[in-house]
Amino acid sequence: MPSYLADILSWHRARAAGDGRPLGELVERAAATPSPRDFTGVLQGGGLSCIAEIKRRSPSKGDLDPGLQPDLVAKQYVAGGAVCLSVLTDADFFGGSAGDLASARQASGLPVLRKDFTVQEADVADARLMGADAVLLIVAALDDGELRGCAALADELGLAALVEVHDEEELDRALHAGSQLVGVNQRDLRTFRVDHDRACALAGRIPSGVTAVAESGIRDAADARRLAEAGYDAILVGETLVRAGDRVAQLRELVGYPVGTR
């Protein structure tokens, strides 16, 4: 059985090892860019929110929409009621780019998450440099020191850090690191299989003061409603929306459900 996460991280860590750019200079340049939009704040209140994702392909499913136009898709997501966007910037495994993020952010006016595999603090600075408002930190991809370092730099640069977990142990690590925005990914990044019950099973372990996001495997209104009832503030939806015949209508079916108490 393939281990997608191991292969992807190996590639990103090899690239990071050859990155000779001084971190201090990167951070200084990043701090001088326009201030990020409020990513976490727009996810709170008003019923279940959606972070709508823009991606061209995935390692497990292959091409989703290789000719996707990020600006047009972003406008469809706005019309459907998305409050944030997630944009894949990984080129080798997902066909994304920094250009996709910039185009989607400009067209939508929404806060945007840089969806990529962060393995070093320079990646956080790069997220701000490319115009992102939030950065993804995958607990399974980072040791505790790396997680804290990347989260601290994100905070310094005004970026939200969506800290992604897959099980109780990873959730405990995220909370111990002080994470205030936690995503529960129902897709096992080692096999890319989806467990549709994972997010609901972990919901009760997420403190009420932490903004909670359910990720992956969200297919329809029934899934969205169930996650809202479990206490999730938001859902992150990619494949379902990218492949939808009517993205606006599909998205409208996924948002606004009353959020239950965790």
Active site residues: 53, 55, 115, 164, 185, 215-216
Distance CA 2, CA 192 (A): 9
DSSP H stretches of helix in the chain = 4-17, 23-31, 70-80, 98-108, 121-129, 144-156, 168-176, 198-203, 221-229, 239-242, 247-252
Distance CA 129, CA 157 (A): 10
Q: Strands 181-185 and 211-215, how do they pair?
A: parallel
Distance CA 128, CA 150 (A): 12
Q: Which residue is associated with the tokens 């201030």?
A: 35
Q: Which residue is associated with the tokens 């929110």?
A: 49
Chain centroid, CA 178 distance in Å: 18
Q: Report which residue type is found at 122.
A: A
